[in-house]
Chain A
Amino acid sequence: MTAFSMNVLFAVVWVAVSGSATFLNFLFGFVVSALAIGLVREQAQGVSYLRRIGLILSLVLLFFRELALSAWKVAVLVTRPKLEARPGIFAFPLTVDRDFEITLLANLITLTPGTLSVDVSEDRRTLYVHAVDCSDIEGARRDIRDGFERKIMEAFR
């Protein structure tokens, strides 16, 4: 994350130099310095900084889509005259292993359709997820693994 802190530093410097401390100006400085760092990094390293920003943005987009979908699903579930829930807690084997990534994944899972993270095992290998519909546990696991977990791995590795 050193490139990111450098990016923030550059943006702060930009705000100081241009002498207008507004959010828009900070954003502008951030974008310009991201481009600059991206250019330099392109020469120095294999992992492109700009590409990483793109991946993080796509994670954010996926998150907002899932959040809207999940609120809609809750709405459909509770306004139906007959409640048809088959709730349960299933274990999800974690591939990500850093604290930051596990926290992010747990929070994303909580705000996505039908799932709520309840606990992480002591050895940090398993995430316990409560789901409203537990009829297809394998499918739910696959959704998390191929959705958020893969995106997190792509964006932060």
Chain B
Amino acid sequence: MSLVLTLVTVLLLVAGGAFALVASIGLIRLPDVFTRMHAASKAGTVGSGLLLLAAGLHSGDLSTFSRALAGFLFFILTAPISAHLLARAAHKVGYRLHASTVVDHLRRDNP
């Protein structure tokens, strides 16, 4: 049983670390602020969530685990809001979308 728990913890740690790495690679490679927010908000949330779950599981204590779960929930609640605000602010001040962008209905409707 403890072996299974250890293996699951290891798996969660590696997967969480990998997603955090992918999020930071995305921040460097993607072309503009909007596409970068995709990487930061999604892969970042999942990465930190998996790491929190691993920490909670490793403690083997229910109250610690539920606290880790609560941390994950707060990530889910706050990450999209910050991504949304950053993207909205960037668009408001006229930060240009990358040249490969195909449509911009927001600019069309609010000239």
Contact = CB atoms under 8 A, between A and B. Distances in A.
Contact of B41 (A75, A88, A116): A116
Interface string A79-97: 1000101111111000000
A137 B102 CA distance: 11
B84 A116 contact: yes
A79 B25 contact: yes
A106 interface: yes
A78 B23 CA distance: 8
Given A107-B80, A116-B37, A132-B35, A89 B30 contact: no
Contacts, number: 133
A100 interface: no
Contacts of A117: 80, 84, 87
Main secondary structure on chain A at its contact with chain B? mixed
Contacts of B46: 67-68, 71
A116 B43 contact: no
A123 B53 CA distance: 40
21 contacts: A23-B63, A67-B45, A71-B19, A71-B42, A74-B38, A77-B26, A78-B22, A78-B25, A83-B30, A87-B97, A87-B100, A89-B34, A89-B91, A91-B109, A110-B84, A111-B45, A113-B42, A116-B41, A116-B87, A128-B105, A135-B102
- 3 residue pairs, one from A and one from B, having the closest CB atoms: A110-B80, A71-B46, A91-B105
Interface of B: 18-19, 22-23, 25-26, 29-32, 34-35, 37-39, 41-43, 45-47, 62-63, 66, 76-77, 79-81, 83-84, 87-88, 91, 97-98, 100-107, 109
Interface of A: 22-24, 67-68, 70-71, 73-75, 77-79, 83, 85-91, 106-108, 110-111, 113-114, 116-119, 121, 126, 128, 130, 132, 134-135, 137
